Amino acid sequence: MQSPLALENDVRCTSRTRIFVYSTLLALFLFYTGYAHAEEKTATFDFYPRSLGLQLKQIAESTAAEVQPLKEISTDLLHDINAIIFHIEHHPADPCPKWERFEASVNRLETLRQNWLITATVEDPYIPSAAALEEIALALQRRAQIWQALIQADAAEAFPITTLYEKSFADVDRLKARTLAVEQYFTRYGARRPADYRTGLTWCEYLETQSWLTELEACRPLPEDPTIRLVSLKTPEIPIDVLKTFSDRANATIHRLNSPTLTEEQRRFLNHPTVNVWKQELESWRADTVTPIHVLRLLEQYEETGGMTDMRALARFLDQLSMSKTEEYQQLGDYVRRQYGMPNVRLFISNALFNNHLPAMKPEIASFRDVIQSQPVVGRRQTDTEMAISFYPHPTRVLTTIDVGVDLATVSRTEAFATQLHNAGQTQVLARKLIELTENGFRTEPAQAMIVGHRMQLVRVNTDFDAAPILSGVFRGIVRNQYEDRYYAAMTETQQKILRQVRAQLDRETEARLKPVNAKFIAFSKHLDKEFDLRIEQRESRTEENWLLTAWGIRSKGALAGNTPAPATLHGSFADLKVHESLPNMLLCKLELEGKQGTVADFKAMLAEKFQQPGLAAPEENDHVELLFASHNPVVVRFIDGRAELTISIAALRLLGKTHRNFQVIVRYRPDYNDEGDLVLRRDGVISLPGAQSQSQFALRAAFGKIFPERRPFPLVPKVLEENTDFNYLTTGHCRIEKGWFALALVEKQKSR
């Protein structure tokens, strides 16, 4: 018989067991119920697409009649997105049960958008607009492809950092010795001659051997503390952050050694025993230091904010994924980088814009002196020239040609042994010079020319014996016979001289016009590089018969760029410039405003210097206000919903003896026309101050209202259109702010509104 104490213990154990079992069953029930009905609640994971979900939710909950066709689709998409996010978090290796329905809903939305584009007119507006529908559709398509790649990566067998926990300082010394051997190999290679030495140094820089050696040398065991006892065999001897650093570097170095851009000769050079041993050692240090879910989390944060702090973190993780040891991780990183590394500047130019501004060519009359067939020739010529600029069709390059037609009429006289020959000539020449727009400015090829018509006629012959008819007649006959014998040789020599002169003049005049343009382009490129550490990369180009399109990526190393297609160029545009919001954000990022403190005047002076715009530093009323920028996304520009939105995050601001902390300033601008009919960006509505205390709203709004006054809009008409009379018929118009793009076109004045 059990004692009361033992019985009590049994009862307690039984109760605890029952509680445990019931709790487990309840947890399983809630888990699977939550999974089965995940579409019925909003996901709370930090990689949920919040901005996209908010757009869909607003449509699903709207009572407006015009959005009724979208309500059912939006509701279905919200359910499917929640289920997919839940699936990614808990069952990434299993097929997603809602995937097919999600794809069907995306296709339905795209079909609805296409139908709207066909039926919508200006007189029959529709809400949401085609731009908003397209933005949602593109965001869904982008997410679908990324989620698929992420699920595949999650299902792959990765190489976690824990695989390196057994690494010791002896392994560090071995890696250091083999890295030093590689550097010595390159140095020995360059010991033969200066050219080889420079090549060896280039390889050391490419593989960053010196940087490797510096970090390996700094990795030393700490003095042993007898009070600290090893409590787990899984605790690595080398600190985890050091292991991650070495692993990332090993991934990057292997990626460079296996780069597909290496030539066959370079691969043979690297296929050396010393390099191969080093490569094998690096392979043992490779691991995956980031997971796909981390990338998705940062991606959604960047989608929501558009800030450069989030962009830099996402770009860094994408680099690590792209150089991962796991192939599926590499594919995910490369795919997301392509999606978020598209061009951020696009330029459309019509052929009419060039030809409308070609100068009128007046006939040129001049005397000339030359030698043809060893005989001196003097005379006068009249040159009539026609010029046109043509676009040379090409699928991947920006090619234009200057086409010149020359009509040359001459009258000349040749004197030889008491004889004067009078000639009349007519020559038609077609010349062409090819010009290409590249990352380094305009590149030209030597002009080409051809004779399309040539006529040379002997008008009359005068001799010193004209007073003696018999002698004059004999002499004239001899001269005419010699003229006919040498006619074709003289004509050929004349044509070659004309062609050389036309080619030389076309080359000379073209280079004279392009030289200052290239100088400005190079100066602009150097300014971007020096002040903002930005590079200009030509991404896409296409030349058609009547227009050209060129796309550029302006970004810093490792940064991202555009992630949405640019808005379409509208009919009637002579030119169309489109800028993605990532470009102004990168420029602001290079100002390094995170946690920076100063007065408004200080920051205006910095902007004036960086952007070479002295007018920005003009004194104003609130220049004395002191502020401290937030350390995360201090300034962000968004192009969305037809407005340019500026968000300033402030950690502290001193105004009228009071400090205001942790709030944002949101200023929105919309395109409008001023009293003169010129396009401007005007402040839209009141300034928003999220996070600011209610009692501070009035003072802050008054202060920032003076910094961003409504009465001072930003002009969108370049000064060149006002100052140059050749552009009197042009102005700016067709301003579109959508999908993260700001687009502005050149149009005829009467069509601008």
Instruction: Return d(Cα 635, Cα 416) in angstroms, integer.
Output: 83
| Amino acid 193: pLDDT | 59
652 band by pLDDT with thresholds 50, 70 and 90: very high
What does DSSP assign to residue 285? T
Query: Could you report the per-residue pLDDT of 56-110, keeping only the tens digit for each?
Result: 888 888 787 767 778 888 888 899 898 888 888 877 777 788 888 888 888 888 8
CB 591 within 8 A of CB 606: yes
The fraction of the chain above a pLDDT of 90, given in percent, is 36
Q: Per mean pLDDT, which range of 57-61, 254-258, 336-340 is the poorest?
A: 57-61
| Amino acid 42: pLDDT | 44
Q: Which residues contact 465 (CB under 8 A, 6 or more apart)?
A: 418, 471, 472, 475
357 φ/ψ angles, rounded to the nearest 5 degrees: -115, 15
What does DSSP assign to residue 223? P
| Amino acid 51: pLDDT | 84
Q: Is the pLDDT of residue 511 over 50?
A: yes
255 band by pLDDT with thresholds 50, 70 and 90: very high
CB 431 within 8 A of CB 404: yes
- Residue 682 β-bridge partners: 670
Choose among 644, 670, 672: nearest CA to 733.
Answer: 672
Choose among 89, 111, 82, 84: nearest CA to 100.
Answer: 84
Query: Could you report the per-residue pLDDT of 186-229, keeping only the tens digit for each?
Result: 887 655 555 566 778 888 889 999 999 999 999 888 665 544 44
Helices and strands: H and E segment counts in the chain: 21, 19
Residue type, 571: H
546 φ/ψ angles, rounded to the nearest 5 degrees: -115, -5
Q: Is the pLDDT of residue 34 over 70?
A: no
Instruction: Return d(Cα 285, Cα 212) in angstroms, integer.
Output: 13
| Amino acid 30: pLDDT | 40
Task: Work out the average pLDDT over 577-586.
Answer: 94
Choose among 655, 749, 639: nearest CA to 702.
Answer: 655
Return the sign of the alpha-carbon dihedral for residues 750, 644, 538, 543. negative
Residue 728, helix vs strand vs coil: coil
7 band by pLDDT with thresholds 50, 70 and 90: very low
476 band by pLDDT with thresholds 50, 70 and 90: low
Residue type, 196: D
Q: Per mean pLDDT, which range of 33-42, 133-142, 324-333, 633-642 is the poorest?
A: 33-42
Q: Measure Cα distances from 13 to 4, 17, 21, 90, 542 in Å.
A: 14, 6, 12, 32, 78
Q: What angle do CA 690, 693, 698 make, to 5 degrees?
A: 90
CB 202 within 8 A of CB 194: no
| Amino acid 283: pLDDT | 94
Containing 89, the helix (H) or strand (E) segment is: helix 68-90
CB 341 within 8 A of CB 326: no
Instruction: Return d(Cα 736, Cα 681) in angstroms, integer.
Output: 12
The fraction of the chain above a pLDDT of 70, given in percent, is 85
Encode 389-442 in three state secondary structure.
Answer: EEECCECCCCEEEEEEEEEEEEEEEEECCCEEEEEEEEEEEEEEEEEEEECCEE
123 band by pLDDT with thresholds 50, 70 and 90: very low
Task: Work out the average pLDDT over 115-126.
Answer: 55
Q: Is the pLDDT of residue 11 over 60?
A: no
Give the strands of the sheet with 535-543, arranged side by side: 535-543, 547-555, 345-350, 575-580, 741-748, 730-738
Q: Is the pLDDT of residue 435 over 60?
A: yes
**Residue that is written with structure tokens 């901005």 in the block:** 51
Containing 269, the helix (H) or strand (E) segment is: helix 264-270
- Token digits of residue 42: 């909003």
End-to-end CA distance of the chain: 100
CB 629 within 8 A of CB 593: yes
CB 722 within 8 A of CB 548: no
Average pLDDT, the chain: 83
